Amino acid sequence: MTTNPSKVLAPGEGLKLQSGPGRDLIFKVTGEDTGGAFDYFIVEVAPKGGPPLHVHYKQEETIHILKGRYKIRIGEEIFYCQEGSFAYLPSKVPHAFLNLTDESGEIIVVYTPGGGHKFYEEFGPLSRNGPPDRKVIASIFAKYDMALLGPPLSPD
User: Half-sphere exposure (CA, 13 Å, Cβ side) for 133?
Assistant: 3
pLDDT in tens, 71-85: 999 999 999 999 999
In a domain, 9, yes or no: no
In a domain, 155, yes or no: no
At residue 46's C-alpha, the angle toward residues 42 and 137, to 5°, is 80
- pLDDT averaged over every residue in the chain: 92
Cα(143)–Cα(6) distance, rounded to whole angstroms? 30
pLDDT in tens, 86-133: 999 999 999 999 999 999 999 999 999 999 999 999 988 887 777 778
| Total domains present in the chain | 1
In a domain, 60, yes or no: yes
Query: For residue 43, what is the domain's CATH number?
Result: 2.60.120.10
Contact criterion met (CB below 8 Å) for 84 and 2? no
Burial class (CB in 10 A: 0-12, 13-18, 19+), 89: buried
pLDDT in tens, 4-18: 788 999 999 999 998
pLDDT band at 1 (very low <50, low <70, confident <90, very high): very low
Cis preceding-peptide flag for 155 (omega within 30 of 0):
no
Comparing C-alpha atoms, which of 131, 67, 75, 54 is closest to residue 99?
67
